Structure 1
Amino acid sequence: MSTPTPNVPRLPNQPTSSPAAAPDSQEQHSSSDDIGHDHVSPALERLRAGRPKTGVTGGPTAENTPGSVGATAPETVPVPKAGPQPPAGERGSASRNAARRATRGSSMVLQSVRSWDPDLVRRIAVTIVVIGSTLGTANAAGAFGGPDIRETSLGTFDPAATLVSPAFPAPYVWLVIAAGLLGYTAHQWLPSQRRSPRHRVLGWLVAGSLLVTLAWALTLQQTSATASLVLIWLLVVLLLGALRWLNRYPVQTRIEAVLVDVPLGLFLGWAGVTAVVHSGAVLTFLEVDWLEWGAQRWALTGVILLILAAMAVCMTDRGRIAVALAVVWGVTLMVPERLLGDQQSAPVAFAAGLGAFLLIISAGSRRHRVDHAYRRELRAQQMATVAPIDFYDDGEPAGSQL
């Protein structure tokens, strides 16, 4: 008969978890038995869940995957800012580069402007100024229905305003001058004149003169006595400069003389007459009587100075008949107005008539002398090319017989 074996409790199998799970309590072992040997201990999970987060990672990898053996703490990854911010030095260099680009752009503009053809720019500017100033002056004169400068209180175009005012038809010479300046504008566009040195300075002087004329007409409309007086004498100075330039480059053809010299000569002569008449009108308007000479003495002084200045101009170069004709037109129309008009003065009428006669004689005499000298020079050049005359007429060249 055998002896019965007592019931001895079985020991559980050795767990396969890491040694870190050994000190766990009975509750942990029982739960380990219930869940299985392949599951991680809850205590270890709580320890790992309580581990502080040191940064934001892009995602689990083989080294930091939770539950992996030998896992290391994840590295700290900096949080990116809102946008890329270049360093301060780079920002300064960018601003300097922008400044260099702006400077380079302005220099390119200047180079392109300098590359323009100056003769073409001058021709275009003169054409625009001549057309615009002519239309503007005509508008100021009331040609298009606006206020008429002939009706201003200064009385420049009133035949009865002063003792030097010409008769009514005198201002119509402006129509001839305007037509001549349009012809001058067309002449400078001819192929032979596009790069002529005669026009390079003359064109700007003509443009400036026309702009001053327009400004004078506008100030005359506004009854500005002082400004209009300064502008009319400035016009005379500019036209004298234009005449000096014409003398520096003599005329080459008759067409050039008709389209360039004649209009500018008429312009200068009539500008001188207008300056004297306007000065008398302004002094009368302002009631100025220097030295208490009276109106007649001042009128005689103005006429004499005008004739002497015109004679000095006409005695230069080839005579400048156009200047003389414009002045003669103005002073001749003073004669009937001083003899039959409201303000009569026989001395002023006599001085104007005599001055016109002397002026046309002096200008014609100068022109005759210049033409005679030109013909003599031309004849001498022609004779220099002619063979000497053989007085022996024996068929042998002259000088062969001794």
Structure 2
Amino acid sequence: MTVLSPGPTRTDLVRNVVVALLAIAQVVVAVMAGDAVGVVAREYASPLLAADWAFVVWLPIYAGFIGYAVFQALPGQRARQIHRNTGWWMAASAVFNIGWVLSFGTGWLPLAELAIIGLLVSVALVFGRYCRTPAEGVVERVVVRGTVALYAGWVSMATPLGTAATGVWIGLPGTGALAAIAAVVVLLAVTAIVSWAVISGTAVVPFAVGAVWAIVGIALNDPPAGVVVAGAIAIVIVLAATARRISTAGYPVRAAWG
């Protein structure tokens, strides 16, 4: 028996508005911050620092987030239970994102670390909940599931990047053998977690793209040779997990795109 959600409520409307305002606010904050985050990241560089060009991934993430904000506010979408289950977490992710940009860009890296962990948890929860619910149509797959999955994949790898920078901020070595070994261990450990998420999730193609993009950004930013090798291994593992997930799924389209 299909259980229908009640019609749109005042809470739904408030959620729609809050998500839309925060979607715009995080873009405004990012634009105003400019290259401040990049400057700080280079100041506290580690072997896990991604190349500057890798951060262009924020463009489709921000654009997709705005598209999501519009989609979830459409009359036919407002009362859907999946938006009720995820909307406030998406709003929280925007708050954490704003907090991360502001704190990292001004050099408060421990505070930025807390913010990016909150961002990761928020986006991961949304991703997990969407994995349990099939998408309704191509637009939802592209605008909503694609954005959330790309975001989750990227932040999964961006979080240890931020952690490494925070480690340098507190006085841990950012260069040398110890830093390289730590980078390899962290990269492979996070890859194992990401691969588990791929094997058990849906919309795994954009999720894998986000994760692999971050790894490529690290590997091509002239890190120690060991990190390059670990990055290559990590990419192969994530791509193999993605191929396995799609090829063994009962509904490959849903596994690939949500």
TM-score by length of 1: 0.57
1:246 to 130, 134, 154: 130
Deviation at 1:247, TM superposition (A): 2.1
* RMSD between superposed Cα atoms in Å: 2.2
- Alignment correspondent of 2:187: 303
Give the secondary structure class of the aligned counterpart of 1:172: helix
Q: Deviations over 1:189-213 (max 9, x none)?
A: 3332121111012111111001101
Structure 1 residues 206 and 230: alpha-carbon distance in aligned structure 2, compared to 1, 3 A threshold: same
C-alpha contact 2:195 2:238 (8 A) present in aligned 1: yes
- Alignment correspondent of 1:81: none
Give the secondary structure class of the aligned counterpart of 1:195: coil
1:141 to 26, 34, 39: 34
Q: Deviations over 1:357-389 (max 9, x none)?
A: 22012112202222xx238xxxxxxxxxxxxxx
Q: Structure 1 residue 150 and structure 2 residue 43: aligned?
A: no
Q: Structure 1 residue 200 and structure 2 residue 84: aligned?
A: yes
Structure 1 residues 190 and 171: alpha-carbon distance in aligned structure 2, compared to 1, 3 A threshold: same
Q: Deviations over 1:66-96 (max 9, x none)?
A: xxxxxxxxxxxxxxxxxxxxxxxxxxxxxxx
The 5-angstrom pairing of residues 181-192 of structure 1 reads: 181-192=65-76
Q: Deviations over 1:308-341 (max 9, x none)?
A: 1111111123352111101101111222323xxx
Structure 1 residues 294 and 249: alpha-carbon distance in aligned structure 2, compared to 1, 3 A threshold: same
- Alignment correspondent of 2:228: 349
Distance 1:318 1:177 in 2: 18
Deviation at 1:118, TM superposition (A): 1.6
Give the secondary structure class of the aligned counterpart of 2:51: coil
Deviation at 1:130, TM superposition (A): 0.9
The aligned length equals 243
Amino acid at match of 2:45: A
Q: Structure 1 residue 234 and structure 2 residue 114: aligned?
A: no
TM-score by length of 2: 0.87
Structure 2: which 5+ residue stretches go unaligned?
1-7, 253-258
Deviation at 1:221, TM superposition (A): 2.5
Amino acid at match of 1:217: V
- Alignment correspondent of 1:374: 251
Deviation at 1:253, TM superposition (A): 1.5
Structure 1 residues 149 and 337: alpha-carbon distance in aligned structure 2, compared to 1, 3 A threshold: closer
Give the secondary structure class of the aligned counterpart of 1:337: coil
Distance 1:168 1:354 in 2: 22
Greater share of helix: 2
C-alpha contact 2:146 2:206 (8 A) present in aligned 1: yes
- Alignment correspondent of 1:312: 196
Q: Deviations over 1:200-236 (max 9, x none)?
A: 1211111100110101111112211211111111111
Deviation at 1:262, TM superposition (A): 0.6
Q: Deviations over 1:90-135 (max 9, x none)?
A: xxxxxxxxxxxxxxxxxxxxxxxxx962211111111111111221
- Alignment correspondent of 1:129: 22
Distance 1:300 1:284 in 2: 16
C-alpha contact 2:123 2:152 (8 A) present in aligned 1: yes
Distance 1:198 1:116 in 2: 15
Give the secondary structure class of the aligned counterpart of 1:333: helix
Asked which structure has the greater RCO (Cα within 8 Å, sep 6+), the reply is: 2
Distance 2:160 2:104 in 1: 15
Structure 1: which 5+ residue stretches go unaligned?
1-114, 143-147, 339-343, 376-402
Distance 1:364 1:346 in 2: 27
Amino acid at match of 1:347: G
C-alpha contact 2:44 2:168 (8 A) present in aligned 1: no
C-alpha contact 2:145 2:203 (8 A) present in aligned 1: no
The 5-angstrom pairing of residues 59-78 of structure 1 reads: none
The ranges of structure 1 where at least 4 consecutive aligned residues each deviate by more than 4 angstroms after the TM superposition are none
The 5-angstrom pairing of residues 14-163 of structure 1 reads: 117-142=10-35, 148-152=36-40, 156=41, 158=42, 161-163=45-47
Q: Give the share of equivalent positions with the same residue, in percent.
A: 22
Give the secondary structure class of the aligned counterpart of 1:204: helix
Amino acid at match of 1:374: Y
